[in-house]
């Protein structure tokens, strides 16, 4: 896992959310996301994207189950405190925006052979 906690530039956020650029809430999203620190993380492992999205909860916090991050800590979809990639392809694209290749560390856990 690689983690960084810093403010994100508007340029980086515009690249990250480029697929939403024509949506009416795009300027508000960029403004909100650049208003404070962001903790960027890379998770790896079997089913990491699917499992991560379950932990996050539904995009609309009102539809999120208790015990999920959005269910417990979000109130409004426009102030959605967490993002998770929706596919491995999206994750790879997003990781390359937030991290340089040399910043990523991959290792094999001692439990790997027991789990897989």
Per the annotation, the verdict on 83 as an active-site residue is yes
For the chain, counts of helices (H) and of strands (E): 6, 2
The dihedral built from the CA positions of residue 54, 40, 87 and 1, taken in this order, carries a sign that is: negative
Provide the H-helix boundaries in 19-87. Answer: 26-33, 48-56, 69-73
- Name the one residue in this structure whose structure tokens are 């009416």: 24
- Contact (Cβ atoms closer than 8 angstroms) between residue 66 and residue 72: yes
Residue among 2, 83, 98, 99 flagged as catalytic? 83
- Contact (Cβ atoms closer than 8 angstroms) between residue 85 and residue 94: yes
Q: Name the residues annotated as catalytic.
A: 83
């Amino acid at each position: 896992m690689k983690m960084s906690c810093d403010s994100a530039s508007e340029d980086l956020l515009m690249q990250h959310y480029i697929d939403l650029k024509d949506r009416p809430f795009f300027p508000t999203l960029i403004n909100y996301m650049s208003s404070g620190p962001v903790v960027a993380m890379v998770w790896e492992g079997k089913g990491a994207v699917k499992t991560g999205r379950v932990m996050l909860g539904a995009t609309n916090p009102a539809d999120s189950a208790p015990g999920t991050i959005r269910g417990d800590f979000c109130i409004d979809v426009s102030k959605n405190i967490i993002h998770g990639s929706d596919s491995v392809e999206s994750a790879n694209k997003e990781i390359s925006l937030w991290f340089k290749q040399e910043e990523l560390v991959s290792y094999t856990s001692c439990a790997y052979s027991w789990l897989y």
